[in-house]
Structure 1
Amino acid sequence: MTNFKIIVVFLLFLNVSFSQSLEETIEWIGRNSSGREQIEYDKNQNILYFFSVRQAGNSQATFVNEINPVDVNSISLKYGQDGWNSVKLNFKKGGTIVKKYYLNENSDIEGEPSETKMYGFDISLNCSKELIEKYKKAFLHLFKELGIEVKDGDYF
C-alpha cells in the first residue's frame, strides 16, 4: 500500500510539473496555426482576445473578437470539408455579447466595433482531425489555467 501511495504522489507531481502554463498554451495555439489564430488574455479586464489574421492581396487583415471567458460553458469540435475543422466555444445559456472589430496593417481599429449576441464562437483551421483535437485540448487547458471550469462539449 505504501508503494501505491508513493506512485500516486509521483504521478501527481509529474502531471503538475509538466503541464503548460497559460502563456505557453496561448503561444502553442498561435504557433501551431502558423500565426493565423492568436489569443491574448487581459487579466485586469478579464477579456480573451481572439485575433484571426488573414492575407488580403498584398495586405494583412486582422479580425478581433473579444469575449468574457467566464461565459464559456463547453468546448466541442466541428469537422468540416476539405480539411477545415473548428473548435467551438459554446456559451452559457442565454449567450453572451461578443465585441468584434477589424485592425488595419498599423493595428488601428478600422470602422466601428460591433457587439453581437452569440451562443457559440467557432475557431476554424485548415488542419487534420488529429491537430484540431489537440487544439481542443489546448483550449480546455487554457480555461483550466484561467480557473474556469469548462466542459468537453463532445462528451455530454
Structure 2
Amino acid sequence: MKSESVHIPMAAQQFTQLLSATRRGARLGRLLTVEQLVSWGWLRDGEATDAAALVVAELASNAVRYGRLEGRGFRLTLVQLPGTGLRIEVTDPRGERLPSRRAGGLGMALVDALAADWGVRPFPPSGKTVWAEIGPESRNIPDLLVDRDRSDVAGCRTCPGQGQG
C-alpha cells in the first residue's frame, strides 16, 4: 500500500457514481462495474473483469463497514487507463480509518493479490480514497474464489455467485 497523488490522463474514459453506504450500495457498485466494463469492450466473463469486480466488491464493502458516517455515502470511480488498464477508486468520509492487510482479514490481501498496485490518499476535508489498478492482463484469480461448488467459500461476501455484498 502506498499514498500518492493521482493524475488521470485527459483521454481516459471515466465512470463515477455515488452510492449509499449499505450492503445494497456495495453490491450495486460491483454490478455497475461489470456493466461499465462491458460497455467499454471488456469481456463480461473475462479474468480482468472478474478481478475488477472482486476488487470493487472488497473496497465498497470496506467503505460500508469501516468508512461509513451516518447520512453519507461513498463514491465509486472507474477510469480506463491507456493500454486497457483500469483504476478503481472508492472514496468514503472516514479518513482516520485506513485499510490494512495486517488487520487479519482476507479482504485487502485479496486486493493486493489481484491488483497491480493499490494505495490510499486523503480526500479532504476528512475522507480518504482507496485506489487499486488492474492491469491489462489481470493476475490469476485463485481457484478458491471462483469455484462456486466448494462449500468452503459459502461465507465469502465478495465471491462471485454468493449473492451478498
User: Scaled by the length of structure 1, what TM-score is found?
Assistant: 0.30
Of structures 1 and 2, the larger Rg is shown by 1
User: Scaled by the length of structure 2, what TM-score is found?
Assistant: 0.28
Instruction: Identify which of structures 1 and 2 has the higher relative contact order when contacts are C-alpha pairs closer than 8 Å and 6+ apart.
Output: 2
